[in-house]
Structure 1
Amino acid sequence: MTRLTTGEVIAKSLSANGVDTVFGIPGAHMYDFNDALAREEGVRFIHTRHEQGAGYMAYGYAKSTGRVGAYTVVPGPGLLNSGAALCTAYGSNAPVICVTGNIMSHLIGQGRGQLHELPDHLATLRGLTKWAGRIDHPTEAGDKMAEAFCQMLSGRQRPVGIEAPWDVFGMSAEVPEPVATAPLAPPLPDPEAVRRAAELIRAAKRPLIMVGSGALGAGPQVGALARHLQAPVTAHRSGKGVLPEDDALSLLPPAAWRYWQECDLLIGIGSRLELQYFRWRWMPKGLKVLRLDIDPTEMVRLKPDCGLVADAAQGLDALNAALAGDAARPSREAELGQLRAEAEAALATVQPQEGYLRVIREVLPRDGFFVEEVSQVGFTARMCFPVYAPRQYVTCGYQDNLGFGFNTALGVKVGNPEKKVVSVSGDGGFMFGVQELATAKQFNIAVVAIVFNNGAYGNVRRDQQTSYGNRLLGADLENPDFVALARSFGVQGYRAESPGELRAVLADALALDAPVVIEVPVQRGSDASPWPFIHPAPLS
Structure 2
Amino acid sequence: MMRFGEAICAVLSSKGVDTVFGIPGVHTLELFRGLKRNGITAVVPRHEQGAGFMADGFARTSGRAGVCFLVTGPGVLNALTAIAQAWHDSIPMLIVASTVESSQVGKHRGTLHDTPDIADTLRPYTLFSKNISSIAEFSDSVDEMYDRWRTERPRPVYIGVPLDVLAELVELPSRADTTPEALPEVDTQEMERVAALLATADAPVIVAGGGCRNAGALLADVAERLDAPVVLTTNSKGLLSDHNPLNVNVSTPFEGTQQLLQDADLVLAIGTELSDFEYIATGSTPVRLNNIIRVDIDPSASHQDQETPTICADAAEFLQRLRALLTATPRSLRAARGVDRAAAARRSWTSAYTSDPYYEWVEAFRKGLPDDAIIAVDSAQLAYQAHQFMELPSGATWLSPYGYGTLGPALPMAVGAAIAQPERPVIAVAGDGSSLFTIAELATAVDLNRQLTVVIWINGGYREIEASFDRVEIEPVGVATSAPDFTALTAGLGATPVQVQSPGQLTEALREAAASPRLTVILVEAPEGLRITSES
2:3 and 2:208 mapped to 1: Cα distance? 45
Which of 471, 478, 494 is the equivalent residue of 1:474?
478
Which amino acid in structure 2 is aligned with residue 140 of structure 1? E
1:377-413: CA deviations, max 9, x gaps? Answer: 2222221122366981112142111111111111111
2:427 and 2:147 mapped to 1: Cα distance? 33
Which of 347, 356, 367 is the equivalent residue of 2:353?
347
Map 1:289-308 → 2, pairs under 5 A: 289-299=292-302, 303=306, 305-308=308-311
| 1:146 Cα offset (Å) | 2.5
Could you tell me which residue of structure 1 aligns to residue 410 of structure 2? 405
2:512 and 2:268 mapped to 1: Cα distance? 43
Which amino acid in structure 2 is aligned with residue 506 of structure 1? L
Which of 521, 525, 528 is the equivalent residue of 2:525?
521
1:119-167: CA deviations, max 9, x gaps? Answer: 1111112232111221213443322333333334432211111110111
| 1:86 Cα offset (Å) | 0.5
Which of 183, 196, 201 is the equivalent residue of 2:198?
201
Could you tell me which residue of structure 1 aligns to residue 264 of structure 2? 263
| 1:445 Cα offset (Å) | 4.5
Which amino acid in structure 1 is aligned with residue 526 of structure 2? V
Check the 8 A contact 2:428/2:455 in 1, yes or no. Answer: yes
Which of 482, 494, 512 is the equivalent residue of 1:490?
494
Could you tell me which residue of structure 1 aligns to residue 443 of structure 2? 438
1:253-299: CA deviations, max 9, x gaps? Answer: 14534533522322111111126975553436x72111111111115
1:415 and 1:161 mapped to 2: Cα distance? 22
Could you tell me which residue of structure 2 aligns to residue 134 of structure 1? 131
Map 1:209-288 → 2, pairs under 5 A: 209-252=206-249, 253=251, 254=254, 256-274=257-275, 279=280, 280-283=284-287, 287-288=290-291
Could you tell me which residue of structure 1 aligns to residue 324 of structure 2? 321
Measured at CA, do residues 356 and 486 of structure 1 come closer, stay the same or move farther in structure 2, by a change above 3 Å?
same
* SS at 2:248 equivalent: coil
Which amino acid in structure 1 is aligned with residue 447 of structure 2? Q
Could you tell me which residue of structure 1 aligns to residue 386 of structure 2? 381
Which amino acid in structure 1 is aligned with residue 257 of structure 2? A
2:161 and 2:396 mapped to 1: Cα distance? 33
Measured at CA, do residues 150 and 497 of structure 1 come closer, stay the same or move farther in structure 2, by a change above 3 Å?
same
Check the 8 A contact 1:139/1:173 in 2, yes or no. Answer: no
1:128 and 1:306 mapped to 2: Cα distance? 26
Relative to structure 2, which stretch is displaced further, 9-18 or 153-162?
153-162
1:142 and 1:148 mapped to 2: Cα distance? 10
2:515 and 2:181 mapped to 1: Cα distance? 43
Relative to structure 2, which stretch is displaced further, 201-210 or 54-63?
201-210
2:33 and 2:528 mapped to 1: Cα distance? 49
1:23-67: CA deviations, max 9, x gaps? Answer: 110011111112222x33321111111111111101000011111
Check the 8 A contact 2:432/2:458 in 1, yes or no. Answer: yes
Could you tell me which residue of structure 1 aligns to residue 12 of structure 2? 14
* SS at 2:38 equivalent: coil
Could you tell me which residue of structure 1 aligns to residue 186 of structure 2? 189
Could you tell me which residue of structure 1 aligns to residue 469 of structure 2? 464
Residue 53 (str. 1) matches residue 50 (str. 2): yes
* SS at 1:251 equivalent: strand
Check the 8 A contact 1:27/1:74 in 2, yes or no. Answer: yes
Check the 8 A contact 2:226/2:329 in 1, yes or no. Answer: no
Map 1:86-97 → 2, pairs under 5 A: 86-97=83-94
Which amino acid in structure 2 is aligned with residue 298 of structure 1? A
Could you tell me which residue of structure 2 aligns to residue 363 of structure 1? 368
- How many residue pairs match? The answer is 522
Check the 8 A contact 1:187/1:309 in 2, yes or no. Answer: yes
Which amino acid in structure 2 is aligned with residue 519 of structure 1? L
Check the 8 A contact 1:13/1:180 in 2, yes or no. Answer: no
Runs of 4+ in 1 over 6 A off after TM superposition: 178-182
Relative to structure 2, which stretch is displaced further, 108-117 or 253-262?
253-262
| 1:330 Cα offset (Å) | 1.9
Relative to structure 2, which stretch is displaced further, 224-233 or 416-425?
224-233
Check the 8 A contact 1:90/1:158 in 2, yes or no. Answer: yes
1:391 and 1:43 mapped to 2: Cα distance? 28
Check the 8 A contact 2:87/2:156 in 1, yes or no. Answer: yes
1:74-99: CA deviations, max 9, x gaps? Answer: 11111010001101111111111111
* SS at 2:246 equivalent: coil
1:140 and 1:162 mapped to 2: Cα distance? 10
* SS at 1:512 equivalent: coil
Could you tell me which residue of structure 2 aligns to residue 145 of structure 1? 142
* SS at 1:350 equivalent: coil
* SS at 1:431 equivalent: helix
* SS at 2:391 equivalent: coil
2:278 and 2:483 mapped to 1: Cα distance? 38
Measured at CA, do residues 336 and 325 of structure 1 come closer, stay the same or move farther in structure 2, by a change above 3 Å?
closer
Relative to structure 2, which stretch is displaced further, 191-200 or 226-235?
191-200
TM-score, normalized by length of structure 1?
0.90
Could you tell me which residue of structure 2 aligns to residue 531 of structure 1? none
* SS at 1:238 equivalent: helix
Gaps of 5+ in 2: none
Measured at CA, do residues 224 and 153 of structure 1 come closer, stay the same or move farther in structure 2, by a change above 3 Å?
closer
| 1:301 Cα offset (Å) | 7.6
1:301 and 1:190 mapped to 2: Cα distance? 26
Measured at CA, do residues 326 and 339 of structure 1 come closer, stay the same or move farther in structure 2, by a change above 3 Å?
closer
Residue 68 (str. 1) matches residue 68 (str. 2): no
Which amino acid in structure 2 is aligned with residue 137 of structure 1? S
* SS at 1:195 equivalent: helix
Measured at CA, do residues 136 and 437 of structure 1 come closer, stay the same or move farther in structure 2, by a change above 3 Å?
same
| 1:476 Cα offset (Å) | 1.1
1:182 and 1:377 mapped to 2: Cα distance? 48
Residue 511 (str. 1) matches residue 511 (str. 2): no
* SS at 2:27 equivalent: helix
Which amino acid in structure 2 is aligned with residue 74 of structure 1? V
Measured at CA, do residues 246 and 276 of structure 1 come closer, stay the same or move farther in structure 2, by a change above 3 Å?
farther
Check the 8 A contact 1:427/1:453 in 2, yes or no. Answer: yes
Could you tell me which residue of structure 2 aligns to residue 534 of structure 1? none
1:188 and 1:390 mapped to 2: Cα distance? 32
Aligned-CA RMSD value: 2.5
2:427 and 2:400 mapped to 1: Cα distance? 13
Check the 8 A contact 1:136/1:164 in 2, yes or no. Answer: yes
2:177 and 2:372 mapped to 1: Cα distance? 31
